[in-house]
Amino acid sequence: MQPSQVAALAARIRENVSRVVVGREDMLTLMLAAVVAGGHVLLEDVPGTGKTVTARSLARSVDGAFSRIQFTPDLLPSDITGSRVYHPDQGEFRFHKGPVFANILLADEINRATPRTQSALLECMEEGQVTDGGVAYALPAPFLVIATQNPIEIQGTFPLPEAQLDRFLMKLTPGYPDEAEALALLDRFIADAPLEKLGPVCGCDELLEARSALPACEAAPDIRRYIAAVCARTREDERAQLGVSPRGMLALLRACQALALIDGRGYVIPDDVQRLAVPVLAHRVIAKGFAGRGDVSRQIVLDAVAALPAPTETR
């Protein structure tokens, strides 16, 4: 698939989602970049800001299998991945697939589940499979996890460990609408339910074709050095206990390639790196003595980008 075709596909999905979601064009573009890059998305914000609605709107725009899991403290790993059930008529155990076997999985309020249950998603998100009884079961392709969490509630929640956060390509914050968006939201929902009428505008095969174009997207040596320097800078910052890992660096490269394709380009530019640095890197940075303070990690990434000169020529 050519960059212009990827851009047209992204525009079609974005337009469809915009029938429900008001504003947030930039966030939708970044979510689509995650889809093309083959990554997962974590939406973090206070209740009522449209995290679940945004995820469901994106899922409805794709003609694929969709599952939603409401995470709670009593949720078990087998409730996500599935389990073996004994069939007495045949005298054997058979694996019954869980809701994770879908193209798009909405993990609602993921931080309400225990760490044991959260870890059930690690293999799914990284390897695209579920292992049970020594047998690996492949998940459908494409496979995308869109997780939501509330950052202000502490009681009854279990913060995601660093290994889990590192599996998310991006962490995005929807935020509150401005005045114009709020009025448009009221007008749209006053006597209608647009989400219920939303239909698919693309198939899973198209998303896989768009993803196959990723390796051909050019990232010049200067761009690659720029990405590596930004990531190294986060590790050198005295406020950081843990900076961006090589996996995070590779994630930023893939996200930049996907964003370039969505913009109709076959090459990465410095603006792509700067635009994606915080969404891709900030949740991978752990600040010293500031547990739970995402604003410090965000500032470390912003300062790393600001301290380094961007390449002036990329091709």
- Please give the order of strands across the beta sheet that includes 66-70: 66-70, 104-108, 144-149, 41-44, 170-172
Same structural domain for residues 208 and 227?
no
Same structural domain for residues 130 and 241?
no
Burial of 165 (0-12, 13-18, 19+ CB in 10 A): middle
- In the predicted structure, residue 216 carries a pLDDT above the cut 90: yes
Same structural domain for residues 207 and 243?
no
**Number of residues that this document lists for the chain:** 315
- Per DSSP, 218 falls in state B
Taking alpha carbons only, the member of 66, 78, 288, 279 closest to residue 165 is: 279
Q: Are 77 and 122 in contact (CB under 8 A)?
A: no
The domain total for the chain is 2
Final residue in a domain of this structure, among 163, 197, 214: 214
Same structural domain for residues 127 and 250?
no
**Confidence grade of residue 314 (pLDDT, cut at 50, 70, 90):** very low
**Confidence grade of residue 247 (pLDDT, cut at 50, 70, 90):** very high
Strands 41-44 and 62-63 turn out to be unpaired
pLDDT at 172: 93
Same structural domain for residues 309 and 180?
no
Taking alpha carbons only, the member of 119, 108, 127 closest to residue 162 is: 119
Final residue in a domain of this structure, among 167, 187, 214: 214
Measured between alpha carbons, how far is 286 from 48 in angstroms, rounded to an integer? 27
Name every residue whose Cβ is closer than 8 Å to that of residue 124 and which is 6 or more positions away in sequence: 80, 81, 100, 130, 139, 143, 145
Same structural domain for residues 228 and 276?
yes
- In the predicted structure, residue 74 carries a pLDDT above the cut 80: yes
Measured between alpha carbons, how far is 261 from 6 in angstroms, rounded to an integer? 6
Question: What phi and psi values does residue 101 have, to the nearest 5 degrees?
Answer: -80, 80
- Residue span of the structural domain in which 86 resides: 1-214
pLDDT at 315: 47
Final residue in a domain of this structure, among 192, 214, 236: 214
Widest CA span in the chain: 70
- In the predicted structure, residue 208 carries a pLDDT above the cut 90: yes
Q: What percent of the chain has pLDDT over 90?
A: 58
- Does residue 172 or residue 159 have the better pLDDT? 172
Q: What does the pLDDT average to over 229-254?
A: 94
Placement of tokens 């949720």 in the chain? 75
Same structural domain for residues 173 and 48?
yes
Residues pairing with 71 in the sheet: none
CA 251 to chain centre: 11
- In the predicted structure, residue 194 carries a pLDDT above the cut 70: yes
pLDDT at 291: 55
The CATH number of residue 129's host domain is 3.40.50.300
Same structural domain for residues 143 and 232?
no
The CATH number of residue 311's host domain is 1.10.8.80
Same structural domain for residues 209 and 234?
no
Placement of tokens 């869109």 in the chain? 146
**Confidence grade of residue 157 (pLDDT, cut at 50, 70, 90):** confident
pLDDT at 8: 95
pLDDT at 51: 87
Same structural domain for residues 39 and 168?
yes
**Confidence grade of residue 177 (pLDDT, cut at 50, 70, 90):** confident
- Does residue 110 or residue 289 have the better pLDDT? 110
**Confidence grade of residue 133 (pLDDT, cut at 50, 70, 90):** confident
Same structural domain for residues 115 and 257?
no
Same structural domain for residues 139 and 165?
yes
Query: How many CB atoms within 10 Å of residue 127?
Result: 12
| Span 249-293, pLDDT tens digits | 999 999 999 999 999 999 999 999 999 999 999 999 988 875 556
Taking alpha carbons only, the member of 195, 200, 219 closest to residue 273 is: 219
Average pLDDT over all residues of the chain? 89
Measured between alpha carbons, how far is 288 from 106 in angstroms, rounded to an integer? 32
